[in-house]
Amino acid sequence: MRELAEGVRLLGRGFAYWRRRPGLMALGLVPAAIVGVLFLSGLIALGAFLPAITEAMTPFADTWPGVWATVIRVTIGTALFGAALVLVAVSFTALTLVIGDPFYERIWRAIEAEHDGDAPDVPYGFWRSVADGIWLISRGIAVAALAALIALIPVVGGVLGTVFAVSLTGWLVADELTSRALSARGIPAAARRRILRTHRLRVLGFGVATQLCFMVPLGAVATMPAAVAGATMLARTLLGASPPPLVRRAVRS
């Protein structure tokens, strides 16, 4: 539990940078807002057409008693919308990081420089960012499909599917958010993931807390800069580095 709590605290310390460096953090709102509007529009459209979609998917239920036809269609509709939310959560992180890479690079480099004086300087690269984003989205699609199947389990499916989706997407988001700070140190993808697995609960605590903030209306836009800042501090702690001065002051207080 201590490791889980430490992951959550690191996200909170990322939010603290809104008070410390508001101008820098505000830069991260621009790409997050653009992607957020696009995905919100898509979810609204899906919600509007969801009854028609579920009816088209269940023609066999037309001859069923009304209550059972409604139950099966509501269950399928809930599973579909839940899967869409999972996919949006993962895709939001991937696309926002690709579109806003110059903005978010300034955030994580500022935090690194605040502690060490100079940020690590192994180039990440635009196309590498795109490749990592595609890989994240592909894994998100798999998680969304599994969450939708779990949600079809009678009675408990909705709860189990939600827990599964939040946990798995939280891990994926933490993986992607820490990739910049770790890659800048010359650590390849396979080694990055071994480092994350070594501190599994801390990474999960950070990722799940980030995901829950993303689920709050407009929370994803405000959370994204803080998540980048918190992920930079998370990466440092995973490598055994001390937290930057802001974190040490917060701990003493």
Residues 6+ apart with CB under 8 A from 86: 140, 143, 144, 147, 165, 169
Rounded to an integer, what distance in angstroms lies between the CA atom of residue 70 and that of residue 109?
53
> Cβ distance 97 to 220 under 8 Å?
no
Would you state the pLDDT for residue 250? Answer: 35
Kindly state the tokens that stand for 60: 């066999």
Locate tokens 């918190």: which residue? Answer: 230
CA R_g for the chain: 20
Residue predicted with more confidence, 231 or 123: 231
Rounded to an integer, what distance in angstroms lies between the CA atom of residue 250 and that of residue 122?
30
Q: 130-155, pLDDT tens digit by residue? A: 776 777 777 777 877 787 778 777 76
Rounded to an integer, what distance in angstroms lies between the CA atom of residue 77 and that of residue 72?
8
C-alpha distance from residue 53 to each of 74, 82, 128, 144 (Å): 11, 14, 37, 18
Rounded to an integer, what distance in angstroms lies between the CA atom of residue 96 and that of residue 129?
11
- Asked if pLDDT for residue 207 goes beyond 70, the answer is yes
Per-range mean pLDDT, top range of 7-21, 118-132, 180-194: 7-21
Mean pLDDT of the chain: 80
- Asked if pLDDT for residue 241 goes beyond 90, the answer is no
Rounded to an integer, what distance in angstroms lies between the CA atom of residue 127 and that of residue 111?
24
The total domain count for the chain is 1
Would you state the pLDDT for residue 10? Answer: 93
Range of the domain at 204: 2-252
- Asked if pLDDT for residue 247 goes beyond 50, the answer is no
Q: 72-94, pLDDT tens digit by residue? A: 888 888 888 878 887 887 788 88
Range 13-31 burial, b when 16+ CB lie within 10 A, else e: bbbbbeeebeebbebbbeb
